[in-house]
Structure 1
Amino acid sequence: MNSAHIIFAIIVVAGMLLSVQLRKLTIAAALMGGILSTLIYITCGVVGVILMAAFFIMGVLVTSWKMELKQQAGLAEKDKGRRKSGQVFANAGAAAIIGMLSLLFPKSHLNTPLLVAACFAAATADTFSSELGNVYGKRFFHILSFQPAKKGGNGIISREGTLWGIVGSTLIALIYGIFYGVSFDLLIIIIAGTAGNIMDSLLGAAYEDKGYLTNNMVNFLNTVTAVLIATLLQRL
């Protein structure tokens, strides 16, 4: 094992222990995060892990932002946003799967770093739009009927929340750009992340409310949508 692998292992283990200690992840969720980050590291290198870490850190920050206000309004996540293993897989599983597919099918010529970035752009957009949209949103409406609605429900969106989602996608794109330079790929990541976030709201309104999909399934399909959109856009 070379020094880079050893440093990665130390950082991941330390991150897992710290996340559990700070009650940001359950033990099972920390183990899931360690497995997924290792798969992403093997297939996408350190940049993929940085993107995953950026999503997690930003997600923790925006979830904690104005927590008392969210609690008073009944909008805060249970256990102050402490994530479980299913939630971790829902947000990062698609990125790990893309990495594994690139290894199993090298002739597919998947642009793994771009697709991984699209996954985390979508996950970050969803977190930003829901957490910050509920705080700063002024008028809320149902994404299918466009009728005014009370904030916090599935498929309920606001202009402010949508804009915050775009900010989340953009931040992931900028981090990607630090390592791979400024190119059309950055716009692909932003568009893919935003599209995934919109699909999240559509699926939540159409299927989660009716019990056909769980929230974790919807979040996973959010990232899958981003992968499909990024794949199409990069072929233009």
Structure 2
Amino acid sequence: MGILLIRTVVSLALSLGIAARAYKHKSLNRSGAILGFVVMAIHIAAGYRFGALILVFFFTSSKLTKLGQEKKMTIDEDFKEGGQRNWVQVLANSGIATVLVVILATITRGEDKCLDTKNSALMTGLIGGVVGHYACCNGDTWSSEIGMLSKGQPRLITTFKPVKKGTNGAVTIEGLLAAAAAGLVIGLAYTFVGLFTTECASDVAWKQLLVIPIAAVAGLCGSVIDSLLGATLQFSGYCSLRKKVVSKKAPTVKKISGVDILDNNGVNAVSILLTTLLTSAFCLYIF
């Protein structure tokens, strides 16, 4: 069997096992597990490095979501047991990258390539976009989950005024540091797996290590962009009846910030798109 066929078989078996386990442990609901199986299989079949990125994002974010979930239930209006995600959330966090890895697999026929604009600017831009995509996703999740549990006072990113935990667009020092660390982990995963799957020319081999700091910056930037969008284009208000921050207007809700244009999935999708484009452009410049 060819390399691509072998990887496809591996991807189907591995993705099915992971999706079934995630459904059992309530990390994904039924629709989320079905779509999660599809996108994981596509990523792994397209390249082991891409599979590593989505798996690192999924496993680390799932673990952090479940951490301190009793406290999070009192803060986050939409928090579900186990941090259960549905198909919309899976799509928002993987849709753009899935399109990019399909394009890459078509161009390279499933062969891992190095970041090198001299060889292929298109390929370099696409790979950089995938890295930026998951650095943003991981950074936003780590920032939110750790920020909710931190003892620091959240501040609205647009005004720096103290706000209640759970307010869209609120940031903490711990959360921002977590976002950078989350991006760093994505960069490390990409680079480590690449050591076994790619052979780069000597003049560009050392440059591949730059993915690590680039991903760390992308994780932080993605979280900041998400917070800016959340503070301005997503409504936040305090409900005197439920005693928590909510994202829908009601007679018992006093506005904190933002306007009701985007929901949480919309904010995630836009921040991911912007971070993907910025990281792609930066990789074209660096490599």
Same-fold call, TM > 0.5? yes
1:117 aligns with 2:131: yes
Partner residue of 2:85?
83
Residue of structure 2 aligned with 1:166, choices 155, 180, 193? 180
**CA apart distance, 1:21:** 1.4
1:13 aligns with 2:16: yes
Deviations 1:7-28 (A, max 9, x none): 2211111111111111211111
Deviations 1:48-89 (A, max 9, x none): 112101111111111111122323445771234100001011
**CA apart distance, 1:185:** 2.0
1:26 aligns with 2:75: no
User: For the residues of structure 2 that align with 1:10 and 1:105, how far apart are their CA atoms?
Assistant: 25
Give, as a single letter, the amino acid of the residue that structure 1 aligns with 2:184.
Answer: T
1:67 aligns with 2:107: no
**CA apart distance, 1:180:** 3.0
Contact 1:19 1:25 in 2 (8 A): yes
Contact 1:118 1:190 in 2 (8 A): no
Contact 1:156 1:201 in 2 (8 A): yes
Q: 1:76 to 1:163 in 2, by over 3 A?
A: farther
Q: How many residues align?
A: 235
Contact 2:234 2:264 in 1 (8 A): yes
User: For the residues of structure 2 that align with 1:162 and 1:222, how far apart are their CA atoms?
Assistant: 15
Structure 1 spans left out of the alignment, 5+ residues = none
Residue of structure 2 aligned with 1:37, choices 36, 40, 48? 40
Deviations 1:188-233 (A, max 9, x none): 2221222111111111111121221121111112221221111221
How do residues 197-208 of structure 1 correspond to structure 2 at under 5 angstroms?
197-208=223-234
Residue of structure 2 aligned with 1:187, choices 206, 213, 224? 213
Moved more, 99-108 or 180-189: 99-108
User: For the residues of structure 2 that align with 1:110 and 1:49, how far apart are their CA atoms?
Assistant: 17
**CA apart distance, 1:39:** 2.9
Q: Secondary structure at the match of 2:62?
A: helix
Q: Secondary structure at the match of 1:148?
A: coil
State the TM-score, normalizing by the size of structure 1: 0.90
State the TM-score, normalizing by the size of structure 2: 0.75
User: For the residues of structure 2 that align with 1:129 and 1:75, how far apart are their CA atoms?
Assistant: 17
Partner residue of 2:150?
136
Q: Secondary structure at the match of 2:159?
A: coil
User: For the residues of structure 2 that align with 1:183 and 1:60, how far apart are their CA atoms?
Assistant: 27
Partner residue of 1:50?
52
Contact 2:11 2:42 in 1 (8 A): no
Say what the alpha-carbon RMSD is for the aligned residues: 2.1
Q: Secondary structure at the match of 1:235?
A: helix
Moved more, 66-75 or 126-135: 66-75
What percentage of aligned pairs have identical amino acids? 25
Partner residue of 2:97?
95
